[in-house]
Amino acid sequence: MSEQKINKKLFQDRKRTNILSNPEQKFISYLVPRIPEWITSDGLTGIGFFGSLMILASFLLAEYISIYFLLLAVLGFFIQWFGDSLDGRIAYYRNKSRKWYGFALDIVMDWVSTVFIGLGYVFYTTGDFKYLGFTLVSLYGWAMIISQLRYRITDQYTIDAGLLGPTEIRVIICLVLILEVIVPGSINYSVLLICIALFFINIGDTKKLLAVGDLKDKEEKAAKLQKESNQQQA
């Protein structure tokens, strides 16, 4: 099967708008056929979870041993991306997809990973900046809720907030961690900026979601009135 056909097969179920969507999808299309048969979809989910544990561990090691252990999180984010991005795609490629099982597992693992990142930051930082860990997790949870509601209303599953998606968020956090190793203490202000950006992105996406919901209500009411009118004329 050509890479173009693989790409079409793997991503036909979702629309991506993030900046890195094209190179990311091409890379995934390259990797999927090369994954050994003995590595299952659930196995890839486990690999992604291991990456999340690495991220949490990197914060703890950085706090109690050396700041340079934050660089371990960069590897952890790649492993997390690898498992999270390929677990569902490998199931599609092998014609073993379980739509609702996979959807539920993906959402749960995304939330667990987000909590681990926030928890790691809370362990690592000091003073009032610890509250930013809670704020970051809450804002990302808000974004996840918007994504699920959009799916419920439109029946189209999208995981991106405009030009930003989970991959871009991972890249940004990795850059923040690298900067922290170079300039200790900078992570607090970086996370503050991320929280501010996420807040305004969520506000914008919430407005769009409500507009889509309002339009769906009007369409359903119009369809109901049309149905009642047809029944009266029959």
Average pLDDT along the chain, 234 residues, taken 10 residues at a time: 53 64 82 88 92 94 94 94 87 81 86 90 89 90 86 75 75 93 93 92 91 87 78 69
Long-range contacts of 128-135 (CB under 8 A, 24+ apart): 129/188, 129/191, 129/192, 132/188, 132/191, 132/192, 132/195, 133/191, 135/195
CA dist., res. 140 & res. 120, Å (int): 15
**Contact indicator for 51, 170 with CB cutoff of 8 Å:** no
Rounded CA-CA distance 12/211 in Å is 26
pLDDT of residue 12: 60
Q: What pLDDT, on the 0 to 100 scale, is given for residue 16? A: 62
**Cβ-proximal residues to 73 (8 Å cutoff; 6+ apart), any chain:** 54, 55, 58, 59, 120, 173, 174, 177
- At residue 82, the pLDDT reads 92
Dist. CA 234–CA 36, nearest whole Å? 61
Question: From start to end of 61-122, where are the E strands?
Answer: none
* Res 31: pLDDT: 87
Taking each helix axis as running N to C, give the angle between helix 99-124 and helix 131-154, from 0 to 180 degrees, rounded to the nearest 10. Answer: 160
Using only C-alpha atoms, the chain has a radius of gyration, in whole angstroms, of 21
